[in-house]
Amino acid sequence: KAGVTQTPRYLIKTRGQQVTLSCSPISGHRSVSWYQQTPGQGLQFLFEYFSETQRNKGNFPGRFSGRQFSNSRSEMNVSTLELGDSALYLCASTYSGTGVQETQYFGPGTRLLVL
Amino acid sequence: ELKVEQNPLFLSMQEGKNYTIYCNYSTTSDRLYWYRQDPGKSLESLFVLLSNGAVKQEGRLMASLDTKARLSTLHITAAVHDLSATYFCAVDGTLTQGGSEKLVFGKGTKLTVNP
């Protein structure tokens, strides 16, 4: 089975711009979660989508948004970029996200640099 | 609010030695994960611990969970250089009262195994 894929792998943007990141989960997985990783704050949960609906949300401002499509692929969007948004953005997928034995499988990440 | 603390944050050890990484969390949850991250790479799932007293072993790594003490340990036996990486524990925040964060991560333990 192919793993979780994320595109693009690297991005450079300037302050004030917006960016869209994409995540394709493992085939058959319906839950997609997004995380931000920075040296200062570590790994932080952004949001989780299941069956095209946001199921859980972390403590990020409204500039961070996401969506999920009927094929379970997910996108996250960051508007009005700030320097502090520079980070590695990871997505993870599971079958349902609630199964007892489930673990989250992470993609390779998108490294975003905001100048 | 769920908080996850790992210690130590940095660990330098000699090959062949044993050591333990500790993960404490603040609110009851019955699902804890351990992940490994190599520099510049994504997260690799190591263990999922689901119940009090759970113990899992893979090679030189053994993880355990004490839900009453809200403590998990990752024990390294006879360390080898290939184990050098950053290890994260994470707790399923959606299983805590009022929790909405899918995974809440510790800050990570950077392990360096010296020949």
d(CA B92, nearest CA chain A) in Å? 10
Per-residue confidence (pLDDT) for residue B54, from 0 to 100: 87
> Any chain A CB within 8 A of the CB of B104?
yes
Per-residue confidence (pLDDT) for residue B101, from 0 to 100: 67
Asked if the model's pLDDT at residue B14 lies above 90, the reply is: yes
> Any chain A CB within 8 A of the CB of B25?
no
Averaged pLDDT for residues B82-86:
96
pLDDT in tens, B44-58: 999 999 888 889 999
Would you list the DSSP string of A31-96?
EEEEEEEETTTEEEEEEEEETTEEEEE-S--TTEEEEE-TTS-EEEEE-S--GGG-EEEEEEEESS
Per-residue confidence (pLDDT) for residue B96, from 0 to 100: 67
